[in-house]
Structure 1
Amino acid sequence: MAADAAEFRWNYGDLFDRVAETVAPGQPALVHGDRSTSWAELTARSNNLARALAADGAQSGAKIAFYLRNHPAYLEGLVAAFKARQVHVNVNYRYTADEVRYILDNSDAETVVFGREFAPVVTQIAAALPQVRRWLMVEDGAAAEPPACAGRFEDLATGGDGAPLRIARSPDDLFFIYTGGTTGMPKGVMWRQDALRRALLNPAVTPEIPVDLEDHLRILRAAGSGPVNLPACPLMHGTGLLTGLSALVGGGTVVTLPSPRFDPQELWQAVERHAVEQIVIVGDAFARPMLQALDAAPGQYDLAKVAAIISSGTMWSLPVKQGLLRHLPQASLLDSFGSSEAVGFGLSIMTADGAIETARFEIGDQVRVFDPDGREVAPGSGEVGMTARAGPIPEGYYKDPAKTEAVFRTIDGVRYAIPGDFCTVGADGTITLLGRGSGCINTAGEKVFPEEVEEVLKLHPDVVDALVVGIPDETWGQAVTAVAELRPGAVFSEDQMRRHVRDSLAGYKTPKRLFAVPRMFRAPNGKADYAGARAHVLAAIADETPARTGTG
């Protein structure tokens, strides 16, 4: 008889050991271009990796960082990390060398799995990270010179007999997701594996919720296999990684795209070739070019197996959803509202049968909306509040107790995750998301914090002051945009300012547009007037429109 759900506690290493015994060994687990890794091969390779880490002295709870694009090695390494009781750390491959060094140092990473493409960055920062004991390079087709400190990921994956470790693991084993949070430098969100597993078991999208491991295996045996999942977005972000993880835990297949940049034609070819059932994206930045590719070649691809497109992290607009459903009338479009601090805040499911308003979500039983004083917002009141999630949520931020206390709050005896997303609550209980109240800019799923970009701009010798805002953009959701006050006599060069920022920060943090202003938008007390800066930018862009479009 199955144990009560409240009694059983999950561990992903144990899950993968047992799923491997249940799924057909020849079934594809990972597909990458022409390369296919069967479930038997994934099991053996991840066991070899886990055993090699343990033999080299990696202790339970040690951190293992992943610094590579979408590649089978990411998921092989992740499964190995679970089996060896190592703590996953994601590294944004768009970061500059200093930003990568910060993440590895802050997380106390002892092992780093990196793509050969990023070997020059590893060579640059390795000496400054003495706590990193293992640099494991993945061959990704790049020709960069390997760092002297690096070993070969493939040697560990193929060295051994592939036997399971047969060690005791804990549901309290940790999993980190590094996120920008709401202010300052990126922070590691600490999930217990049991809490993460429970949070990802969403009754709204999972036909049958297992109560324990044996029940999970029973469901898997009845289904025969899990879904074929294609994360078009990066695995180094939560949206792609957690949906891929759920597909694998369900005995499914994860398909990744080899090209370093998103190519919608490549995506649709892979969907057809591998009979993909789930596509994972981040809003319009992916969905719009996908739709344009289908509109340009209607009927070119066999997309009959697509059951769902899943998005999270940024705006997915109604017209784009409607366009996709013209080509995929059988599919459900799942727009998930969540964050690294708590998944499952809200869900919007749209089909060809009807439209769903952009940014409107159904919420679950464990989600509340509070005002800043901790009072629950009444449905239909029109009052703005912050979304709060109880139940399975993270432990907090790694090495940041002050930020943990601010975001993970106890209200009326219940602990909630309250990352700072503002919304209103309709009379029917649905929420309409307004955005992150801190001013954090969400550009194609990447979080950009105005203060960070502002400080870099102010290091330019011609800049006296600067403010950075996000403005609506069809492609990116929000576009990073700056206004700068220059020193007297300085000549403004937008391209030069952008290059200055790009030299210090990741490309997505570089303003898409910059505007010179005679005086900065600040209140008499010196506080930033972001509303004034945003209004100025929108007016300036509107004034440019006739000239740029050739009309008027």
Structure 2
Amino acid sequence: MSNPYNTGLDRNPANYQPLTPLGFLERAALVFPDHTAIVHGTLRRSYAAFYTRSRQLASALAQAGMGRGDTVSALLANTPAMLECHYGVPMSGAVLHAMNTRLDAAIIAFQLDHAMSRLVIVDAEFLPLLNEALGLAAVSPTVVVYDDPEYDGPRTPTDATDYETFLASGNPDFAWLRPEDEWDAIAISYTSGTTGDPKGVVTHHRGAYLLAQGNALTASMAKHAVYLWTLPMFHCNGWCFPWSLSAIIGTHVCLRQVRAEPIWAALAEEKVTHLCGAPIVMSLIIQAPDTVKRALTHDVQFFTAAAPPPEKLLAEMKDAGFDVTHLYGLTETYGPAVVNDWHSDWSDLPPAKQARLKSRQGVRYLPLEGLDVLDPDTMQPVPRDGQTMGEVMFRGNVVMKGYFRNPKATDEAFRGGWFHSGDLGVVHPDGYIQLKDRSKDIIISGGENISSIEVEEVLYRHRAVAVAAVVAMPHDKWGETPCAFVELAPGHHADQDGLRDWCRAYLAHYKVPGRFVFGRVPRTSTGKIQKFSLRDKARALEDA
């Protein structure tokens, strides 16, 4: 039987428009044209100017031949130009490819070729890197150079077009393009490529629209919130916050470099209400000299999405005026799509218990339709016992379109009608999920599975441990055994015997690391620990 409510009630321009976050900026400029949208050093830019410049960028790109489906790459720091790219590039119909500024030239060349980039907007600081990459790439994109006034380093001579000149050539009244379909691509972001070539994650206007609003709801962002850019905008498009801030007519405080002094200055002087980052950013804030720290007159929301912060770091952040919330997600889910939603009565629990609760990844964002931990073979949910491990899986409108030009990887990622994250986790009786490891990071010793995260959590409780990372080391008898890489906190000391005794007090004997290696623990540009590098080091240590 046909549905009578569908008869003669069709979509038309009056009742249907494809969803896109680009309209958030248009509305902000219409309703609050004079409100400060962007702060960058001495620069203060209103929403009216932000919208006008974004339209000019879209117009200039269109005049340069960019259109629907073309790729425009950006190799930029957290600057106003990067914010303008998040609007101006898709307003032209093109797809934004924000590149990690800390990658080497070979990887950048791979991305430019794979994404078929036709134009690159590059910060003057990174022009030598881009030139090296272009020497390796097959594509020959047009280059536009952004000369940031806050950059005080050397400039490379170039005959490429200047960003401001390029922008000025555009029409400030340009009739920007809405997507023809809300499932049209808005951006492509590349995975880290630790197990092969990076994969191009394609995201769409609908998902960006939904997650941008989901951020505002999840982060309890009031109208005119002030957001500090400690999270790289090239990382999952800044978790969609470039679009979130326009939805709530907030203020972007740009930060070219993540350093303690400008962070504390912005917190105090700009009255920052929200910021995001890995635990290393928290450590940077807390370990700043007293001469740099400022007394905060308001609470600041800090969102972290890497390894669970140590209990002592959470306590120090709380004392300094920060409320830390743990998030979880992947490039394939537009950034975080899971939140450790805090219950008010949990705040009455002892600090150690609170820290254990905060270490859980949590429950799904409002825009995410499905989140579960499933047996990857049977695709059935694991018991809600906090013990049985399975693979964390997602489904819904904030899951990527797929991997660009990689149907095999796309089909595998979506096997069984769920997005397979590759993360192993458990579900607690209250429905909150908790990660136990990446599938490739699980340590199998004598047939027993060892969660590297569990061992790391024990190490983080030791007052001398600032950073801990545990990987598998080959073992003649047991196959594998844990190897711990440890970065000590300033002014503290620990040795192998002391840390081994500490672990024995909290872990089963087979989970205790067989070796401890002291020194700086390598991280990616977004603060994630480079476990692939540590696994190589562990194998080398065993072979030595």
> How much has 1:325 moved relative to structure 2?
0.8
Instruction: Return 119-128 or 187-196, whichever deviates more.
Output: 119-128
- Aligned positions of 1:218-229 closer than 5 A: 225-229=223-227
- Aligned positions of 1:401-420 closer than 5 A: 401-410=407-416, 415-420=417-422
Name the SS of the counterpart of 1:293 in structure 2: coil
Q: 1:88 to 1:518 in 2, by over 3 A?
A: closer
> How much has 1:421 moved relative to structure 2?
0.9
Q: 1:203 to 1:41 in 2, by over 3 A?
A: closer
Name the SS of the counterpart of 1:424 in structure 2: strand
Alpha-carbon separation, structure 1, partners of 2:85 and 2:262:
25
- The equivalent of 1:143 in structure 2 is 154
Task: Please give the per-residue CA displacement for 1:228-255, whole angstroms capped at 9, x wherever unaligned.
Answer: 1112122111273522331233321111
> How much has 1:385 moved relative to structure 2?
0.7
* One of 156, 170, 175 as aligned partner of 2:166: 156
Task: Please give the per-residue CA displacement for 1:152-205, whole angstroms capped at 9, x wherever unaligned.
Answer: 111122334521424443312312121126621211111111023223443993
- The equivalent of 2:478 in structure 1 is none
Alpha-carbon separation, structure 2, partners of 1:146 and 1:20:
37
Aligned residues of 1:264 and 1:293 also touching (Cα < 8 A)? yes
Q: How many residues are matched?
A: 444
> How much has 1:16 moved relative to structure 2?
2.5
Alpha-carbon separation, structure 2, partners of 1:332 and 1:242:
21
- The equivalent of 1:88 in structure 2 is 96
* One of 257, 273, 276 as aligned partner of 1:277: 273
Alpha-carbon separation, structure 1, partners of 2:168 and 2:295:
36
1:303 aligned onto 2:314: no
1:336 aligned onto 2:345: no
- Aligned positions of 1:337-352 closer than 5 A: 337-342=328-333, 343-349=335-341
Aligned residues of 1:371 and 1:385 also touching (Cα < 8 A)? yes
Q: 1:186 to 1:147 in 2, by over 3 A?
A: farther
1:286 aligned onto 2:264: no
Task: Please give the per-residue CA displacement for 1:313-332, whole angstroms capped at 9, x wherever unaligned.
Answer: 3332332122111121xx53
Task: Please give the per-residue CA displacement for 1:33-86, whole angstroms capped at 9, x wherever unaligned.
Answer: 222222121111111110011011112111111112211111112210121121
- The equivalent of 2:400 in structure 1 is 394
> How much has 1:135 moved relative to structure 2?
0.8
Q: 1:513 to 1:285 in 2, by over 3 A?
A: farther
Which sections of structure 1, spanning at least 5 residues, go unmatched? 209-219, 451-466, 476-493, 522-552
Alpha-carbon separation, structure 2, partners of 1:105 and 1:517:
34
Instruction: Return 83-92 or 309-318, whichever deviates more.
Output: 309-318
- Aligned positions of 1:254-269 closer than 5 A: 254-258=252-256, 260=257, 262-269=258-265
Task: Please give the per-residue CA displacement for 1:118-169, whole angstroms capped at 9, x wherever unaligned.
Answer: 2222222335445343211111333232344x21111122334521424443
Name the SS of the counterpart of 1:279 in structure 2: strand
Q: 1:321 to 1:83 in 2, by over 3 A?
A: same
Alpha-carbon separation, structure 2, partners of 1:172 and 1:10:
9
> How much has 1:344 moved relative to structure 2?
4.6
Aligned residues of 1:31 and 1:256 also touching (Cα < 8 A)? yes
Aligned residues of 1:369 and 1:387 also touching (Cα < 8 A)? yes
- Aligned positions of 1:339-488 closer than 5 A: 339-342=330-333, 343-349=335-341, 355-357=354-356, 358-364=358-364, 366-373=370-377, 374-380=379-385, 382-392=387-397, 393-410=399-416, 415-439=417-441, 471=485
* One of 99, 102, 106 as aligned partner of 2:110: 102
Alpha-carbon separation, structure 2, partners of 1:359 and 1:85:
41
- The equivalent of 1:178 in structure 2 is 190
Q: 1:13 to 1:337 in 2, by over 3 A?
A: same
The alignment's TM-score, normalised by the length of structure 2, stands at 0.73
Aligned residues of 2:28 and 2:47 also touching (Cα < 8 A)? no
Aligned residues of 1:276 and 1:306 also touching (Cα < 8 A)? no
Q: 1:472 to 1:233 in 2, by over 3 A?
A: farther
Aligned residues of 2:60 and 2:171 also touching (Cα < 8 A)? no
Alpha-carbon separation, structure 1, partners of 2:200 and 2:537:
31
Alpha-carbon separation, structure 2, partners of 1:281 and 1:518:
32
- The equivalent of 1:205 in structure 2 is 217
Amino acid at match of 1:320: L
* One of 193, 207, 213 as aligned partner of 1:195: 207
**Taking every aligned residue pair, what percent have the same amino acid on both sides?**
21
Amino acid at match of 2:387: G
Alpha-carbon separation, structure 1, partners of 2:533 and 2:193:
19
Q: 1:103 to 1:315 in 2, by over 3 A?
A: farther
Alpha-carbon separation, structure 1, partners of 2:208 and 2:412:
21
* One of 20, 24, 42 as aligned partner of 1:11: 20
1:121 aligned onto 2:129: yes
Which sections of structure 2, spanning at least 5 residues, go unmatched? 1-10, 443-451, 457-468, 472-480, 490-516
- Aligned positions of 1:493-504 closer than 5 A: none
Alpha-carbon separation, structure 1, partners of 2:130 and 2:23:
33
What do you get for the CA RMSD once the two structures are aligned? 3.8
Task: Please give the per-residue CA displacement for 1:359-393, whole angstroms capped at 9, x wherever unaligned.
Answer: 31321362111012112111016210111111111
Q: 1:187 to 1:469 in 2, by over 3 A?
A: farther
Alpha-carbon separation, structure 2, partners of 1:130 and 1:387:
38
Aligned residues of 1:29 and 1:38 also touching (Cα < 8 A)? yes
Amino acid at match of 1:205: L
Alpha-carbon separation, structure 1, partners of 2:40 and 2:216:
30
Aligned residues of 1:188 and 1:398 also touching (Cα < 8 A)? yes
Name the SS of the counterpart of 2:412 in structure 1: helix
- Aligned positions of 1:244-255 closer than 5 A: 244-255=242-253
Amino acid at match of 1:420: G
Alpha-carbon separation, structure 2, partners of 1:267 and 1:416:
39
The alignment's TM-score, normalised by the length of structure 1, stands at 0.72
* One of 71, 74, 77 as aligned partner of 1:66: 74
> How much has 1:303 moved relative to structure 2?
2.3
> How much has 1:102 moved relative to structure 2?
0.9
Alpha-carbon separation, structure 1, partners of 2:68 and 2:341:
40
Aligned residues of 1:231 and 1:255 also touching (Cα < 8 A)? yes
Amino acid at match of 2:19: W
1:169 aligned onto 2:179: yes
Aligned residues of 1:177 and 1:190 also touching (Cα < 8 A)? yes
Alpha-carbon separation, structure 1, partners of 2:269 and 2:427:
43
